[in-house]
Chain A
Amino acid sequence: MPSAIFRIWRGAVAPRDAGPAARHDAGFVDYSLEITPGMVVLDAVHRIQAEQAPDLAVRWNCKAGKCGSCSAEINGMPRLMCMTRLNHLPLDRPVQIEPMKTFPIVRDLVTDVSWNYSVKRRIRPLAPRPPDAADGTWRMQQQDMDRVQEFRKCIECYLCQDVCHVLREHQGFDAFAGPRFFTHIAALEMHPLDRDSRLRELREEFGLGLCNITKCCTKVCPEYIHITDNAIIPLKERVVDEFYDPLKKLFRRKKGSAPA
């Protein structure tokens, strides 16, 4: 059976803080493992856990790409460990696995993503209009929901947050909600039932203006959500209309403006 080397970050200090000469309590450790057909990176981590390092910390749940728990950086790319096949990686050199760099480390491959939960709590929830169909519910057309459904595919893996330079390089946690929450807000703003508006906060609290449309977030999204084209750009347009061009605002309100 073929084997491969897995170079895994170990320790409670983040790679960026450990410095070039990693301290004795944090650094990469190589594990050699036989591999079998169809294996994904998470399988390798689990096997290492069972056979070589029972205290290797990793967060996961579904192992089917549905829960968004197992985010990490594999050979430098933000990815879900459970959806990264080994036969898509070069195995003649070590497979490097490290925690997401943008968030504080807990231990090994696990990071503290609680900041994301606190951002979500600050976003005002759906404010539906009263039911208007005779049976006390609503009628909604599929085409009006397609866009919202795209955003709601989000599994909250926070890979887009991990890769966005506003958070990753500039640590803009206080002034910026990040791409995940721009899609969340877009889903609320474009929801056929919603009557509220979150445009003021987008501009003042959530730092939409700090996004310079690099599209890095879209590239890493495992759900293939068009974060920039379908969420961020239309939100930017709405903010402009709302605060600088009141006439256009009348046309665009509550419409998922032209898809890219």
Chain B
Amino acid sequence: MSADFETHAYDVLVVGAGGAGLRAAIAASAAGAKVGVVTKSLLGKAHTVMAEGGIAAALANVDERDNWKVHFSDTMRGGAYLNQWRMAELHAKEAPERVRELEAWGAVFDRTGDGKILQRNFGGHRYPRLAHVGDRTGLEMIRTLQDHGIHRGMSVHMETTLVALLTDGGRVSGAVGYDRERGRMRVFNARAVVLATGGLGRIFQITSNSWEYTGDGPALAYRAGAELMDLEFVQFHPTGMIWPPSVRGILVTEGVRGEGGVLRNREGRRFMFDDIPPLYRQQTADTPEEGWRYVTGDRNARRPPELLTRDHVARCIMREVREGRGSPHGGVFLDIAWIKEKIPHAAEHIRRKLPSMYQQFKELADLDITAEPMEIGPTTHYSMGGVRVDADTQMSSVAGLFAAGECAAGLHGANRLGGNSLSDLLVFGQRAGHYAAEFAAQNGPARSDAAQIEAAARGATEVFERPATTAANPFQIQQEMQEMMQAKVGIVRTGPEMDQALAALAELGGRAAHIAVTGNREYNPGWHTALDLRNCLLVAEAITRAARERRESRGAHFREDFPEKSPEFGGFNLVLRQGADGGMELRRQPLPPMPPPLQAIIEEMK
């Protein structure tokens, strides 16, 4: 009986305590709303904590030629022009203010010589643009928001996982979840809900993402009737650790290349010079010498090809490996130690600029990055796609349901630039929180429906009631899904393989329906994996359907059977929703026309 469930009521319920969720909660509180935050893990542990390289914002502290227009056009170019122009515009304009605000709340960024926030180079950004703290920027950001947020009067439900959203007619009315510690169901009534659940990397086998990244936000939204968008665009970061096996996928920050790290194949060749895409030829160094001048701050030099966009670098690495020029464990070499030829005290410099990378390799791989090259290969990193939202308010196609951060779509188009996620969290987290509070103030309480609550609770706990069969172990199914998605819907895709993937997903879904869980409800990882798996399978299907439909290669999406960009496909985003028959409906949503002044900016910056 729903009356038995512990129930909480908020104006705004924020789902997620990463950068986007915390920023949204702070904004909603500031607007006067009563705010609740739920998070699957403890406060301060969300994925944002792992971000390394920095936050992109055109502060122009290091190069005064930078401004929002350059940031805007870099973001659009990086996204292969599938981005929602309005989001890219708002993001570029508001990011500097959001970063300065973090400083006022206690963040201590690295400094320039004259005492301003220091900015570093990153792939696809024309000027040094990333505000950072060594290579632990995400920790600084989440701690700042957490420590500021806990004094703003929000209630935080830690280790609480939502399993369903509740709706009242066309409007969101709350959510149902369970607490990890005791396994009890909880009901949250809310006038507005902000999804800030992060990404979906755990759908794949090799990933830099934590266990939380099971696509919950898009899955919850989809089941509540909202539209999803751009799911075919999954970013594979070019540099993940590959050896030893147990660390496979852990990220090696792009900051290594920003500080002068170079990529080489087994023959010692800097293969990135071999293939520079036409869109970037103007901006790329001709020689290693020019590249080095760029990373050391020569403003007249152009960036080395290692700092091209991630999709391109990842594919070049795959090419080297496939053509037999890879490193012993199936990747290539990333070398920062070589800078000792160029500067004195290089080892010390590397340890200071990249302290956690130094530590990570020393402790996990017995390798000293100041002396030897690293072995790296691509790793599933980021989802450009997610819940389709209004550019200004971040509201989804369901009234009162908002989304921000990695779980929302639109800003990054076909490919995200490094550093543009942390700024995304701040800019659109703030907007989502603000407009959710406004929505809550303008709309009365929604009705809560006991039947929906019952159904959600039953759906979440029925795995305990099934007879224990040996056939369906949630960990086993999860692993099979990850291997299958990596192989068939990974960096290189083809139509026939994706047909196979859909069949495999249907089969896995059938088996998942028979999962039985043993043990009790308290902190039971088998149970949690079974629940996360429902979301993974749904989102995996959405990714595959969208990727199969997009018969071209663009940004992070590469089709071996359609290796070129197609002007036709460049004109729309792919939108998914649940159809009347319960199946997935896919449609083409034409890009909104860009106003001429913004078009002019893009032309000018070409």
Give A contacts to B, CB under 8 Å: 12, 36-40, 43, 49-50, 54-69, 83, 85, 106-108, 110, 112-114, 117, 120-121, 125-126, 128, 131, 136-142, 145, 148-149, 152-156, 188, 191, 193
Contact = CB atoms under 8 A, between A and B. Distances in A.
Given A36-B245, A61-B210, A152-B143, A140 B115 contact: yes
A10 to B, nearest CB: 11
Contacts of A107: 522-523
Contacts, number: 162
B594 interface: no
B246 A43 contact: yes
Given A54-B475, A56-B525, A153-B139, A128 B360 contact: no
A68 B473 CA distance: 29
B292 to A, nearest CB: 24
12 contacts: A12-B522, A38-B244, A38-B246, A38-B247, A39-B244, A50-B473, A50-B479, A57-B522, A61-B46, A61-B47, A83-B363, A106-B181
Nearest to B150: A121
B243 interface: yes
Contacts of B49: 61-62, 66-67, 155
A83 B140 CA distance: 21
Contacts of A65: 356, 359-360, 363
Interface in B503-540: 517-520, 522-527
A64 B150 contact: no
Interface in B116-165: 116, 133-134, 136, 138-140, 143, 147-148, 150-151, 158
Main secondary structure, interface of A, reads loop
Given A40-B246, A62-B210, A85-B364, A126 B115 contact: no
B524 A120 contact: no
Given A67-B49, A106-B523, A125-B106, A37 B139 contact: no
A69 B180 CA distance: 14
B100 interface: yes
B211 interface: yes
A64 B250 contact: yes
A30 to B, nearest CB: 19
Contacts of A62: 45, 47, 49-50, 210
B397 to A, nearest CB: 31
A153 to B, nearest CB: 7
Nearest to B355: A153
Given A69-B45, A106-B181, A142-B110, A54 B474 contact: yes
Nearest to A108: B523
Given A63-B250, A108-B523, A140-B111, A55 B518 contact: yes
B41 A49 contact: no
A40 to B, nearest CB: 6
A60 B522 contact: no
Contacts of A140: 108, 111, 115
Interface centre among A12, A61, A107, A154 (most CB of B within 10 A): A61
B108 A38 contact: no
Contacts of B518: 54-55
B517 A54 contact: yes
Contacts of A67: 41, 44-45, 49-50, 210
Contact of B41 (A43, A69, A154): A69
A61 B209 CA distance: 9
B467 to A, nearest CB: 16
Interface string B93-118: 00000001001111010110011100
B424 interface: no
Contacts of A83: 363-364
Contacts of A68: 44-45
A233 B244 CA distance: 41
Contact of B211 (A60, A66, A152, A154): A60
Contacts of B479: 50
A65 B116 CA distance: 30
Contact of A141 (B47, B111, B150, B243): B111
A113 B100 CA distance: 32
A55 to B, nearest CB: 3
Contact of A58 (B103, B133, B363, B525): B525
Contacts of A63: 210, 250
A223 B116 CA distance: 26
A240 B49 CA distance: 36
A38 B243 contact: yes
A220 B135 CA distance: 22
CB-CB nearest 10 A-B residue pairs: A38-B244, A55-B519, A139-B115, A54-B526, A57-B523, A50-B475, A126-B106, A142-B111, A67-B45, A38-B246
B212 interface: yes
Nearest to B107: A152
A243 B292 CA distance: 55
Interface in B218-276: 243-247, 250-251
A44 B276 CA distance: 43
B363 A85 contact: yes
B103 A40 contact: no
B356 A66 contact: yes
A156 B146 CA distance: 12
Interface in B9-65: 41-47, 49-50
Contact of A37 (B103, B181, B245): B245
Contacts of A40: 246, 364
Contact of B525 (A57, A125, A191): A57
B108 A149 contact: yes
Contacts of B360: 64-65
Nearest to A44: B246
A140 B117 CA distance: 9
Contacts of A126: 105-106, 147
A55 B246 contact: no
A46 to B, nearest CB: 9
A113 B524 contact: no
Contact of B212 (A38, A39, A61, A120): A61
A8 B210 CA distance: 23
A55 B474 CA distance: 11
Contact of A152 (B46, B104, B108, B114): B108
Interface string B459-497: 000000000000001111001000000000000000000
A61 B210 CA distance: 5
Contacts of A136: 100
Contact of B522 (A38, A49, A106, A142): A106
Given A121-B150, A131-B104, A139-B114, 5 more contacts: A37-B245, A49-B525, A49-B526, A55-B524, A55-B525
Given A54-B518, A107-B523, A191 B364 contact: no
B365 interface: yes
Given A38-B364, A117-B43, A140-B111, A66 B139 contact: yes
Contacts of B133: 149, 152
B299 to A, nearest CB: 22
Contacts of A154: 143
Contacts of A117: 43, 150, 158
